[in-house]
A and B are shown apart, each in its own frame.
Chain A
Amino acid sequence: QVQLQESGPGLVKPSGTLSLTCDVSGGSISSSNWWNWVRQPPGKGLEWIGEIYHSGSTNYNPSLKSRVTISVDKSKNQFSLRLSSVTAADTAVYYCARVGGYDSSGWEIYYFDYWGRGTLVTVSS
């Protein structure tokens, strides 16, 4: 059973950098999966931030791309999120999640199959 656990500071100052790590257990980060970050501001919906493959390939939400870096550390079986120049609008519960999937008759079938429990990050002075 794959388990993901987010860790990092719960409070970040405005204009600072948010840094979170997701530890993966019960499976290898070098498997054929994409490793994702998703956030949810209080009382609002889910927002996809971005993802990384073990090779280092990344995809980012265009609305956050200029501020986001996702990296992977295969030796520690973990991946990380950095979000720079944060404001109060970046206050949210941040989730790490695994995307699994396959191709079926030419159709992509992908889904977020494992999620961390989430960690609240507040941006405030």
Chain B
Amino acid sequence: SSELTQDPAVSVALGQTVRITCQGDSLRSYYASWYQQKPGQAPVLVIYGKNNRPSGIPDRFSGSSSGNTASLTITGAQAEDEADYYCNSRDSNGNHLRVFGTGTKVTVL
């Protein structure tokens, strides 16, 4: 079972803001990274570290963290942002293993 918990699904109106959360004990000690996955495609890195975006990722994507919760915010959601989103970090046992969150389906209305 995953040690990083995400809401299964969220919806957002076109142009509005949506926040996706990822909860887990390991997030008190490790940053999360975030991945966007569209149907039939490999995941794509969108946020890593404190709040870093790889080249080519729009600045409407941002990340934050507090306590045991990491968040991915999409400010001004676009139709092309409709996808599954996964967080990733270390596990909570201190043995340097990696774990993905349960995933959140974002629907843009």
Contacts of A51 in B (CB 8 A): 98
Report the bound CA distance from A95 to B48 in whole Å: 20
**Chain A interfacial residues counted at CB < 8 A:** 25
Bound form: Cα–Cα A99–B35 in Å:
13
Within 8 A of A (CB), among B12-44: 30-31, 33, 35, 37, 42-44
**Taking chain A's interface residues, is the majority helix, strand, or loop, or is none over half, making it mixed?**
strand
A111 touches B45 (CB 8 A): yes
Chain A residue contacts of B61, Cβ below 8 A: none
CB of A116 within 8 A of CB of B31, answer no
Where the two chains meet, the residues of B that have a C-beta atom closer than 8 Å to any C-beta of A are: 2, 30-31, 33, 35, 37, 42-45, 48-50, 52, 54, 84, 86, 88, 90, 95-103
Measured CB to CB, the residues of A under 8 A from B are: 36, 38, 45-48, 51, 59-62, 95, 99, 104, 107-113, 115-118
